[in-house]
Amino acid sequence: MRLIYFFTFLGIALIFYLSWVPDPHMSFVWFLPEWVAHWADVKKNADLRTAVPFVFLGFMVGTWLSRSGHPWSWWVLAVLGLTLVAVVAEAGQLVLPQRHFSWADILWGAAGSGLGLLMAFLLLYINRQLKVRY
């Protein structure tokens, strides 16, 4: 469980860091592989690149929710909480001269979070179905 907490914290920190890097070009981020930075810097991927880390973050949170046995209402709160992370990340860009606030990025973050949570839920559902049959 500690590993899930660690990767969730790391994911949130990574989202804030990448959102608040002064230059929006990912080719300047030292730890990103070149192919990832190149993909992220292609103009047509500008909005979609916001969703990618949120998919992983949503999956981590969904894994925690499923392992902890929280009710479905917590899953709804998880989507809202992860969307709040996207709002804070975007709001931070208001003070950076080369960055800009984008409602589309917030929606992409929410969509990525929802997809990650859905993947975790489906994995839990499949796992339970296999245990029932055998």
Residue 128 within a domain: yes
| DSSP run (H or E) holding 26 | none
Token pair, residue 105, equals 């990025």
Tell me the per-residue pLDDT of 85-121, one tens digit each, with 9 for 90 and over: 999 999 999 999 999 999 999 999 999 999 999 999 9
Mean pLDDT, to the nearest integer, of 119-134? 85
Residue 36 within a domain: no
Residue 33 within a domain: no
Residue by residue, DSSP assigns 56-95 as HHHHHHHHHHHHHT--HHHHHHHHHHHHHHHHHHHHHGGG
Domains identified in the chain, total number? 1
Domain range for 66 is 2-21+47-133
CB count within 10 Å of CB 7 equals 18
Residue 108 within a domain: yes
CA–CA distance, 24 with 96 (Å, rounded to integer): 10
Token pair, residue 6, equals 């660690």
Residue 35 within a domain: no
